[in-house]
Chains A and B, each alone.
Chain A
């Protein structure tokens, strides 16, 4: 090769490389902006609402008629769910951490089971169980020989019912995070309070509980965000909140701007919650000042107390999982026709295909972000990753509204341009197609896969890359022979988590799905809405079975962490280090 040619080759290569690296640097912020598009639209709507005269009128009109009611109901829901999930979550976390009783090992993971239940499914099973024709009232009538009108029975389809359903489905968030905090508390802090004269019970109130406060706040925030985001339960139980309001403004009144403005109010509530949680997490940095020692030894409970403790933990599991699951099974059992109908098979196929597609896209985008963050290490990339992860906090309804408005606008532009240029109407390309549904899933669930992949990537130290390169691998070979084998499990986990989340997702799918395109979640919702509860059984049951997968993954991850904790606990054999043998 002549010198001239080789230098041209080098120049060419460096140009190509430079272009690629510029692309890589720009890609994360661009992608993040794209992912945040729905959010930006909603935020923009908020400011538009403050400026234009007409817009201000819409907003004040909304205020006058509906917002006060939405705010009131939302506050009642938040307070009710907040108090209940805290009570349920903290008491179960404390009992399963600090006490030793029969069945506690089983309860520790069974308390996660309600997470497998989407709230809207639990809601409609209870609506079935507690209705006039439901098993509870039927049994009561049989036993006491009552007939219609002889007795009072509370109406489950009410705001109280919605609070109860959401609380029993969401308390595992508080349980999970608080229990982790209790486990991390040093035994010494609890014992110090005992030596200073506190009984075990008082020591819980004055030491363990205050030290776990930041963790409780985090769990509570998650539960409250889910409450704010819930659409299925409140809609089914006839409670008007922001989510149902956005739906109604959108469909019932055909008012996209109104829907966007309601969304922006809901979004600000969520942002406030997130900020509060951040503040409490800042505090927790010093709150866990003395950790790392052994966890406290559990108290052995007497027989009577054991039974009481078991019941305190089991009743929430029964209400949050066992009863609804049994009801679903009993409904599905009678639905032989539904199970066999081609319509149902179509539904399953649709749902699985959609979930698979969404999870592969999401995992690939997450990989791109994670590698960008690992290799570029610029502030912009870091900010981009954080921005791209905000979608998890945004209710599906808001994401959907934030997507459909700009997508519809794009489509209108494309159609008019194409008609002008070619005289053809290409139809809707983005809105009302599978593309907008997939995009909504990407926005919602990107954070789940970024977190999973990021923690997997953190296990691969840069020194491993370097030793791979020293041992003669190219950077691509490093990816194939070192990263991929180590990252496989994280990628799988991320994929599964997104897959299941997509199967369960309701409001965004409901708004964005193409005409006549149904999924299991949509079918379950529609059947239940039409009072054909039993026919909704098979679809709902399949969602719950899929929902069990992440719960199992989660409990296994916790088990593994606990195991490594126990292994660390055995005292190191360092007698030799501590004193020198005589014949030194």
Chain B
């Protein structure tokens, strides 16, 4: 059963449309993720779900109750939603315990302190009740913000770039911790981020947004391997689009030779298409007859990411272990390891 359903949501500020006809739904217990470059409308969408932004069309339903529509706007405090903010927004005048129990209205003092204890244990900060937010590190503040949001047992937890103000190392370990906690507590959550690694680490379902539109709502695997849109392919992972032409159904001719793939139907002889080639689709194999020239390389720790040029001038990305180096200008052989073809109509880069 879907816990959260968005139906044709549109949010605009004056003339400017920020979120445009977005549909998606989130199952109970799942962790969803909204991905996209900054300014794509993902945070506005999250704020619309929280009830801070009115919607101009469509509807938002939470647990079968209508929350937002052009005619109705349930105020944030009545939605039973938890939210973790980008800068955590802990109340600086209250200590940790008071921050966590802030949303526990009508709980007795005993119940409150019980709940605070329990949550501090969840987030691994036992005994921090009496500290003040300014006495905590960034990672600790983040955990307290999470505990505060979870305290009233919300139906849905929203997280707005929750890890963006932390350093990279902390970010990854916290993302894993938070996912485990949410899963253990069976909490439905929706996360906003521009970091795909974070999305992959956290999400059961993720959506890529661009200019206010939801391009694809899918599993992280689906987004990476079966992007439904040129821009999704562009945003998720590394990759290159190479040109090709359709020869017959399920067969395209490319600078890499003739490739087979399912679901390619021919409209007209020689129709131009673009094929997504990711670095992991290509293996450097010196015995291969497909030759290319290394034109640049970037060190990635375990791997080097090479840009190579084919004879016709088209470029590809490929990876090789870093202990096996190729000099700039040297010739390497390439072997294809394509499971399936991702094909877009050529020149289709408009929304």
Contact = CB atoms under 8 A, between A and B. Distances in A.
B2 to A, nearest CB: 21
A197 B103 contact: yes
B37 to A, nearest CB: 4
A472 interface: no
B103 A578 contact: no
Contacts of A138: none
Interface string A544-573: 000000000000000000000000000111
A194 B87 contact: no
Given A286-B134, A571-B38, A191 B92 contact: no
A386 interface: no
B217 interface: no
Given A578-B194, A584-B307, A195 B83 contact: yes
A211 B307 contact: no
A573 B39 contact: yes
A575 interface: yes
Contact of B39 (A186, A193, A575): A575
B132 A196 contact: no
Interface stretch (B238-246, B259-267, B330-338): B238-246
Interface in B8-38: 37-38
A213 B93 contact: yes
A289 interface: yes
B91 A211 contact: yes
Contact of B87 (A188, A286, A575, A578): A188
A287 B88 CA distance: 14
B152 A197 contact: yes
B39 A289 contact: no
A578 B152 contact: no
Contacts of B127: none
A579 B89 contact: no
A293 B165 CA distance: 13
Interface string B118-160: 0000000000000011100000000000001100100000000
Contacts of A574: 38
Nearest to B235: A579
B207 interface: no
Contacts of B132: 286
B152 A207 contact: no
A58 to B, nearest CB: 48
A289 B92 contact: yes
B89 A196 contact: no
Given A287-B92, A578-B37, A582-B239, A195 B102 contact: no
Contacts of B52: 191, 194, 297
Interface string A170-214: 000000000000000010110111111111000000010011010
A116 B109 CA distance: 51
A194 B85 contact: no
Given A191-B52, A192-B85, A579-B37, A211 B93 contact: yes
Interface string B230-274: 000111001111000000000000000000000000000000000
B15 to A, nearest CB: 15
B206 interface: no
B89 A192 contact: yes
A3 interface: no
B82 interface: yes
A220 B90 CA distance: 27
Contacts of B94: 210
B77 interface: yes
A195 B77 contact: yes
Contacts of B234: 579, 581-582
Interface in B84-112: 85-94, 102-103, 105
Contacts of B240: 582-583
B37 A188 contact: no
B97 to A, nearest CB: 14
Contacts of A297: 52
B329 interface: no
Which of A199, A575, A582, A583: most chain B CB closer than 10 A? A582
A580 interface: yes
A108 B52 CA distance: 25
A288 interface: yes
B50 interface: yes
Which of B77, B79, B82: most chain A CB closer than 10 A? B77
Contacts of B134: 286, 289
A467 interface: no
A86 B50 CA distance: 34
B101 to A, nearest CB: 10
A191 B85 contact: yes
A193 B90 contact: no
A584 to B, nearest CB: 7
A576 to B, nearest CB: 9
A186 B89 contact: yes
B272 to A, nearest CB: 17
Nearest to A570: B39
A293 B92 contact: no
A196 B37 CA distance: 29
B149 to A, nearest CB: 8
A210 B235 CA distance: 43
Contacts of B241: 582
28 contacts: A188-B86, A189-B92, A191-B89, A192-B85, A192-B89, A194-B76, A194-B77, A195-B79, A195-B81, A195-B83, A197-B103, A197-B152, A199-B75, A199-B77, A211-B92, A211-B93, A286-B134, A289-B90, A289-B134, A293-B86, A571-B39, A573-B39, A575-B37, A575-B39, A579-B37, A581-B234, A582-B239, A582-B240
Sorted nearest first, the 10 A-B pairs with minimum C-beta distance are A196-B103, A188-B89, A575-B37, A286-B134, A188-B85, A289-B92, A194-B76, A192-B89, A195-B83, A210-B93
